[in-house]
Amino acid sequence: MTTIFRGTILHTKAFDEFESFENGFLAVSEDGKIIGVGNDYDSWLSSYKCNPSTLSEVRLSEDQFLMPGFVDCHIHAPQYAQYGLGLDMPLLDWLNTYTFPLEAKFSDQSYALKVYKRVVEATIRCGTTLASYFATNNLESTLILAREAARQGQRALIGKVCSNCNSPDYYVETAEESAKATEKFVAELQGLKNPLVLPTITPRFALSCSKELLQELGDIAKRLDVHVQSHISENLAEVQVVKGIFKTSYAGAYDNAGLLTKKTVMAHGVHLEDEEIALLKQRGTSVAHCPASNTMLNSGMCDVQRLINAGVTVGLGTDVSGGNSVSIQDALLRALDVSKHLDFFKKQNIRGTGEAKSPDPKYAQLKYKQALYLATLGGAKALSLDHMTGNFLLGKEFDALLVDVSVVEKPVRPLNVNELIEKFIYTGNDRNIIEVFVAGKRVKAPESA
């Protein structure tokens, strides 16, 4: 069966290229690929030779639209167990007080299954069609997360977390154990033969890995040509310690181990220096911007315009549970907030603050369509999966959201396409996302269905 959606369709083709089709169509093949999109359904249909009885048509209402699924470039699956809790400390205290004790509990597989089932359900409910997950040090329970994402039909990158130093003794491995378990994890995931779920090499952060372990992980990433994810320059205290240990910049610590690759995404990057940004650009390494977490853990305000202007690919991350929301729609809104606050700061638009630290009258605030790009195609690029997902180009997999802005309250007048997406971004939530599709398969159905 070929499915044809008819109504308002929108997506982004680049940071500054939003495209929409009012009274448009989007055709999805039996195997979940986008085979037609645009305004002119009749001419597409006449060129697409098929038996009309094999077409199934879905007509969207005036309050509905179809958009690409959200991409969460950085989320900690086990931390869903403390979702919304313990947000009263900066990073290093937060890790030691709440997070390491929590993650250590994932040696219990039944506990892991309970939490991982819930986090995948919650992210799908909020429209995340692709997530890059950190699990824990524990190999077996990390495999449970991978199987759960596969079972629920979410596209996911999954990492067994690696840490062999500067960690509590109840939650640490040796470099040898960590590297061995990582290789085993990659082999097991590749054995699953599920094209939606891929392994990612996951040193927790430079602080919790020795030089030797980082090097081993860099070697594995290169040898097996797999994805890499970690944290970088999130918090000033953390940056100071890393520089002291590695005698180089934060980015340099990863680069020396061969961990900055085209398939690497680094979370945060709040405090990166210009040379480090240039290095990320040179290596093709991306950044996951996590505005909620950066605020909650008092890390700072990441200037994504600076990263983007320097040519670094940026996506969005919820960073649950450092971030207090599992929704990328919420992350998108927070990214807009942080960008405005930075702009206020740069233009001294703050009462009583005196001189701006780095006055920049030309500083450009992020616009909502640019933030939409970061939440979709930018994220797919950051995770090196933009050949498959992130927008509605022909041949890509149908990873999409059917959004209805009238779920909570019908707008007082019909909205045009720009207004529909604005309404959703600025006032929407998971209830407005009535259906979610991954690779053409519906993974969230309307509540009454």
Q: Which does 234 bind (CB under 5 to 8 A by kind): Fe ion, ligand GUN, none?
A: ligand GUN
Question: φ, ψ for residue 139 (rounded to 5)?
Answer: -65, -50
Q: x/- binding map, residues 274-313, to Fe ion, per CB under 5 A?
A: ----------------------------------------
Q: x/- binding map, residues 279-318, to ligand GUN, per CB under 6 A?
A: --------------x-------------------------
Given 231, 271, 283, 334, the residue binding ligand GUN (CB under 6 A): 231
Angstrom CA distances, 438 to 75, 139, 149, 293, 443, stand at: 19, 26, 12, 27, 7
Which range binds ligand GUN by CB under 6 A, 48-56, 91-99, 182-190, 436-444? Answer: 91-99
Please list the residues that pair with 230 across neighbouring strands.
Answer: 266
Q: Which does 423 bind (CB under 5 to 8 A by kind): ligand GUN, Fe ion, none?
A: none
Residues in 43-62 that interact with Fe ion by CB under 5 A: none
Q: How far apart are CA 27 and CA 6, in angstroms?
A: 9
Closest among 290, 294, 326 to 429, alpha carbons compared = 326
Question: φ, ψ for residue 94 (rounded to 5)?
Answer: -60, -40
Q: x/- binding map, residues 252-271, to Fe ion, per CB under 5 A?
A: ---------------x----
Helices 175-192, 211-224: axis angle to 10 degrees equals 20
Closest among 18, 381, 17 to 9, alpha carbons compared = 18
What minimum distance in Å lies between the beta carbon of 156 and ligand GUN?
Answer: 18
Q: How far apart are CA 304 and CA 221, in angstroms?
A: 27
Does 238 bind Fe ion (CB under 5 A)? Our answer is no
How long a stretch of residues is the chain?
Answer: 449
Report the residue number, 238 or 319, with the smaller CB distance to Fe ion.
319
Q: Which does 147 bind (CB under 5 to 8 A by kind): ligand GUN, Fe ion, none?
A: none
What minimum distance in Å lies between the beta carbon of 235 and ligand GUN?
Answer: 8
Given 153, 218, 322, 378, the residue binding ligand GUN (CB under 6 A): 322
Q: Is residue 136 within 8 Å of residue 106, measured between CB atoms?
A: yes
* DSSP, residue by residue, 352-421: T--S-SS--TTPPPPPHHHHHHIIIIIHHHHTT-TTTSSS--TTSB--EEEEETTSSS--SS---HHHHH
Q: How far apart are CA 76 and CA 161, in angstroms?
A: 10
Helices 175-192, 139-152: axis angle to 10 degrees equals 20
Report the residue number, 3 or 123, with the smaller CB distance to ligand GUN.
123
Does 319 bind Fe ion (CB under 5 A)? Our answer is yes
What minimum distance in Å lies between the beta carbon of 297 and Fe ion?
Answer: 9
Q: Which does 369 bind (CB under 5 to 8 A by kind): Fe ion, ligand GUN, none?
A: none
Does 171 bind ligand GUN (CB under 6 A)? Our answer is no
Does 103 bind Fe ion (CB under 5 A)? Our answer is no
Farthest CA pair distance, the chain: 70
Does 435 bind Fe ion (CB under 5 A)? Our answer is no
Given 183, 234, 330, 399, the residue binding ligand GUN (CB under 6 A): 234
Q: How far apart are CA 178 and CA 270, in angstroms?
A: 28
Closest among 338, 269, 252 to 307, alpha carbons compared = 269
What minimum distance in Å lies between the beta carbon of 238 and Fe ion?
Answer: 12
Does 205 bind ligand GUN (CB under 6 A)? Our answer is yes
Report the residue number, 209 or 433, with the smaller CB distance to ligand GUN.
209
What minimum distance in Å lies between the beta carbon of 76 and ligand GUN?
Answer: 5
Residues in 414-433 that interact with ligand GUN by CB under 6 A: none
Is the N-terminal amide bond of 286 cis, ω within 30° of 0?
no
Catalog residues that contact Fe ion under the rule CB under 5 A: 267, 319
